[in-house]
Amino acid sequence: MIWETVRLSLRSIRRNVLRSFLTLLGIVIGVAAVIAMLTIGSGTTQKVKADISKLGSNLLVVRAGRPAGPGGPGGLDQVVRPLAEKDLAALVAHLTGARAISPASQKQVRVIFGTESLTSGVTGTDSAYLDARDWKLVSGRPFSDSETRSGTGVCLIGETVRQQFFGAGDPEGEIIRVNRTSCKIIGLLEPKGYTGFGQDQDNVVLMPLHAYQRRIAGNRDIDNIYIAADDRTPTSELQPRVEDILRDIRRITPDRESDFGIRDMTQIADAMASATTTMTGMLGAVAGVSLLVGGIGIMNIMLVSVTERTREIGIRLAIGAHEKHILIQFLVEATVLSLLGGIIGILIGLGLAGLASATLTIPFAPSPAVILLAVGFSALIGMVFGFFPALRGARLDPIDALRHE
C-alpha cells in the first residue's frame, strides 16, 4: 500500500518534471546551503585546529609588551622592554614542566639565490625551536649548539623556498643570500601547507639567533620565547610559573603589571573553533529561512495539485478510498517531493563543499549525521507543509469532486 503510494507519487512528480523542479528549488537551495556551510564549517574548524596544533600543541608564547586579549597586540601606552637573553636563560634554568624552550625573532626579508629572489619569513632561533614547534626535517640536520652559540651563517629552509630556488633539486650545501648576509643551507623543513588565514607556512628560513641578531635585526632582542609543555603539564599550570620566573628576572615589583604577555595556543584554538561554530550557526539560520520558503512552495504546489486532481480524488472516493487513503496519498507525494529536493540539495551542497575545500585547501569533512538530519528535515518539511493540502483533498465531497471539470 505505502509502496504503491510512493510509486504513484513518483509518477505524478514525473508528469510535471519542470513544475516539480521549480517547486523544489527552495528546498534544494536551502538544503544545499545548509550542507555546504556545515561541511565547509567543520572543514574549517578542523583546519584551524590542525593549524593551531601545527603552531605546536601545548605551546606558550611569550612576547614583550603588556598582554591584551587573546591574539591582540600589546598595549601602546608604554615603551616596550624587549625580551633578552637573560630572560631565556632564567627560564631554561628554573622552569619545570617544559619540554622545550626556544627563542625566536622574526622578520620578512628578501632572500636571493642566483637571479631568483623571494620575500620570506626569516626566523633567528636555536636548535630547540624544531622541538618546541613540532617541526620536522625532511633532510639535513638542525643547528649544532656551537653554530647556535657562535651565530654561524647556516640555515634551514621551507619547501616554498626550495621550490623557488632549486625546483625539485637538492638544496643542501647551497649558499643563499638573506638580506646582505649569506648562509649555507643545511636542511629542509617538512612541508606544512597554508594556515587557515592563507599564510604560507613553508615560505620560511631558519637561522641561528645570533646570526639573525647580528646580521639582520641589528640588535640583541628576542621577539618571542616558545615554551612547549611536557606531556604531564597542562599549559594552564605552566603559564603562572613562566610568569613568576620572568617577573622575577625582569624585576617587576608586585604592585606593577607584567610588561610581557604569555599566549596560550590551546586557548586560541578553542576560541577559533567556537568562532567558526558561531558563524556556521548564523549561516544555518539563514538557510533555515530558505527552507521555510521551500516548505511554503511545497504547500502551494500541493494545493494546486489537489485542485487539479479533484476529479481523480472524486473517482478514488467513489470506488472506496477512505479519507485516510487520500490524505496519505498526498502526504506521501509532498514528502517524496521534498525528500527529492533534499537529496538533490545534499548532492549540490556536498559538491560545493568539495569545490570549496579544494580551492581553500581545507579538509572535505562531510558529516553523516548532518546529511541524515537534512534528509529527515526535508521529509519533515514535506509532511508538515503537505498536510494542509492533503487534508483539503481528503475532505472533498465525492459528488462535488466528481462533478468538477
Nearest approach, Cβ of residue 303 and other proteins (Å):
20
CA distance 97 to 26: 57
Q: Hey, what's the torsion of the CAs at 44, 49, 54, 58, to 10 degrees?
A: 170
- Tell me the three-class secondary structure of 289-326, residue by residue: HHHHHHHHHHHHHHHHHHHHCHHHHHHHHHCCCCHHHH
Stretch of 21-29, 37-45, 319-327, 342-350 lying at the interface with other proteins (CB under 8 A):
319-327
User: In this structure, what is the dihedral angle of CA atoms 44, 49, 55, 59, given to the nearest 10 degrees?
Assistant: 150
Among 114, 300, 311, 361, binds other proteins (CB under 8 A): 311
Q: Alpha-carbon distance 266 to 235, whole Å? A: 8
In terms of DSSP bridges, do strands 154-157 and 181-189 run parallel, antiparallel, or are they unpaired? parallel
**Contact pick of 65, 103, 314, 382 for other proteins (by CB under 8 A):** 314
C-alpha cell at 139: 633532510
- C-alpha cell recorded at residue 171: 638544496
DSSP result, 80-148: ---B-HHHHHHHHHH--SEEEEEEEEEEEEEEEETTEEEEEEEEEE-TTHHHHHT--EEEE----HHHH
CB of 321 to other proteins, least distance (A): 5
User: With respect to other proteins, which residue has the nearer C-beta, 2 or 93?
Assistant: 2
What angle do the packed helices 265-308 and 17-54 form, to 10 degrees? 170
Asked if residue 308 binds other proteins (CB under 8 A), the reply is: no
Cβ proximity to other proteins, 250 vs 404, nearer residue? 404
Return the residue of 2, 15, 232, 369 that touches other proteins, per CB under 8 A.
15
Which CB, 196 or 314, lies closer to other proteins?
314
Size of the site for other proteins (CB under 8 A): 20
Map residues 282-301 to x or -, x wherever contact with other proteins holds by CB under 8 A. --------------------
**Number of neighbours of residue 180 by Cβ within 10 angstroms:** 10
Which SS3 state, helix, strand or coil, does residue 180 take? coil
316 binds other proteins (CB under 8 A): yes
Nearest to 332 by CA among 1, 19, 16, 30: 1
Which of 277, 323, 361, 376 is close enough to bind other proteins by CB under 8 A? 323
Q: Which stretch binds other proteins (CB under 8 A): 62-70, 92-100, 114-122, 312-320?
A: 312-320
Q: Which of residues 154-193 bind other proteins (CB under 8 A)?
A: none
Instruction: By CB under 8 A, name the one of 325, 350, 367, 387 that touches other proteins.
Output: 325
Residue 226 pairs in a beta bridge with 61, 102
Q: Which of 50-58, 214-222, 321-329, 347-355 is the region at the interface with other proteins (rule: CB under 8 A)?
A: 321-329
Q: Should residue 257 be labelled a site residue for other proteins when binding is judged by CB under 8 A?
A: no
Q: Given candidates 164, 195, 398, 404, which one binds other proteins under the rule CB under 8 A?
A: 398
Which residue from 131, 221, 270, 312 is in contact with other proteins, where contact means CB under 8 A?
312
Q: Are 105 and 213 in contact, with CB atoms under 8 Å apart?
A: yes
By the rule CB under 8 A, 404 interacts with other proteins: no
Give the shortest CB-394-to-other proteins separation in angstroms. 10
54/325 with CB nearer other proteins: 325
Cα-Cα-Cα-Cα torsion 397, 400, 403, 405, nearest 10 degrees, comes to: -90
Q: Which is closer to other proteins, CB of 141 or CB of 324?
A: 324
- Region for residue 256 given its phi and psi (left: phi exceeds 0; alpha: psi -120 to 50; beta: otherwise): beta
Q: How far is the CB of 326 from other proteins (least distance, A)?
A: 10
By CB under 8 A, residue 16 contacts other proteins: no
User: Which residues on adjacent β-strands are paired with residue 109?
Assistant: 120
Which one of residues 155, 156, 317, 371 is an interface residue with other proteins (CB under 8 A)?
A: 317
Kindly tell me which residue out of 17, 93, 319, 369 binds other proteins, with binding defined by CB under 8 A.
Answer: 319
- Residue 19 sits in the site that holds other proteins (CB under 8 A): no
Cell of 63: 612576547
Q: Least distance (Å) from other proteins to the CB of residue 302?
A: 19
Residues of this chain that interact with other proteins (CB under 8 A) are 1, 4, 15, 311-312, 314-325, 398-399, 402
